[in-house]
């Protein structure tokens, strides 16, 4: 999926430029098919990631209930004077706490990945909608090129065609496409920056979880060496 994302996440004006240079609308349509395929893949991956996170949440609920029960049982064994059994159960309790901590971290990662997948799906859908909407304009440029309305010295790119002058209909079409594509890419860059902030928030939550676990170990009177790593 990464390779496909690298393919479809190229600058939109570069996709149009290649189609114009090749005088081939088929290249443009191929890009649309790639984006459609990527959206389908992302939706499948997001569904699996969500299901995995929910499964881990159920496991974590079970682990936490077992931890409470085991914690109380350790106290009972100590009060009963059965230190050997208490020591063995304490080791099991530490292992269960470590498993719970690992599961919490997995859930945090899965939820962060799920949000990133949703963001990628949204951008891909917007790309698809935008490029589908621009197809008639690109087709018009192709028709002008095939009709020989452009001299050979003109660079067959959006930038080159936009410089033909305001009096040129082709120039207006090219400039309009170029402007809309740049505006869309700027919007997606801002969304990506927001996603990075969200990722930092997830990391902060993971640190908080570890601090809570350490505090619990201290309350139980366990040494740092006994705490889950």
**Contact status, residue 15 vs residue 131, Cβ threshold 8 Å:** yes
In whole angstroms, what is the distance from residue 226 CA to residue 216 CA? 12
CA distance linking residue 119 with residue 109, whole number of Å: 15
The pLDDT score that the predictor gives to residue 142 is: 81
Q: What is the pLDDT of residue 106?
A: 92
Q: With contact defined as beta carbons under 8 Å apart, do 149 and 170 qualify?
A: yes
pTM listed for this prediction: 0.63
What does the pLDDT read at residue 18? 87
Question: How does DSSP classify residue 223?
Answer: -
Give the pLDDT of residue 207: 44
The pLDDT averaged over each successive group of 10 residues in the chain (229 residues) is: 66 84 88 88 90 94 95 91 90 93 92 87 87 89 70 64 65 79 80 56 45 55 46
What pLDDT, on a 0 to 100 scale, did the predictor assign at position 153? 52
Provide the greatest CA pair distance for the chain: 98
- For 11, the 3-state DSSP assignment is coil
Q: Domain 2-220 carries which CATH code? A: 1.10.287
In this structure, what DSSP letter does residue 224 have?
G
Given this model, what pLDDT does residue 228 score?
Answer: 40
- CB-based burial of residue 107 (10 Å sphere; 0-12 exposed, 13-18 middle, 19+ buried)? buried
60 contacts 76 by C-beta, under 8 angstroms: no
């Amino acid at each position: 999926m990464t390779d496909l994302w690298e393919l479809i996440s190229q600058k939109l004006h570069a996709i149009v430029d290649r189609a114009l240079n090749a005088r081939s609308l088929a290249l443009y349509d191929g890009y649309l098919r790639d984006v459609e395929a990527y959206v389908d893949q992302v939706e499948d991956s997001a569904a699996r990631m969500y299901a995995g996170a929910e499964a881990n949440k159920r496991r974590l609920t079970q682990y936490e209930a077992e931890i409470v029960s085991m914690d109380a049982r350790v106290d009972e064994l100590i009060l009963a004077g059965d230190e050997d059994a208490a020591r063995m159960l304490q080791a099991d309790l530490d292992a269960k706490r470590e498993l719970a901590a690992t599961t919490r971290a997995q859930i945090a990662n899965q939820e962060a990945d799920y949000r990133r997948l949703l963001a990628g799906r949204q951008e891909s859908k917007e790309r698809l909608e935008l490029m589908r909407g621009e197809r008639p304009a690109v087709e018009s440029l192709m028709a002008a090129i095939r009709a020989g309305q452009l001299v050979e010295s003109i660079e067959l790119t959006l930038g080159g065609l936009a410089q033909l002058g305001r009096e040129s209909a082709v120039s207006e079409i090219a400039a309009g496409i170029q402007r809309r594509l740049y505006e869309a890419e700027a919007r997606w860059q801002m969304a990506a920056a927001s996603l990075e902030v969200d990722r930092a928030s997830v990391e902060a939550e993971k640190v908080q979880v570890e601090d809570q676990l350490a505090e619990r170990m201290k309350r139980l009177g366990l040494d740092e060496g006994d705490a889950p790593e």
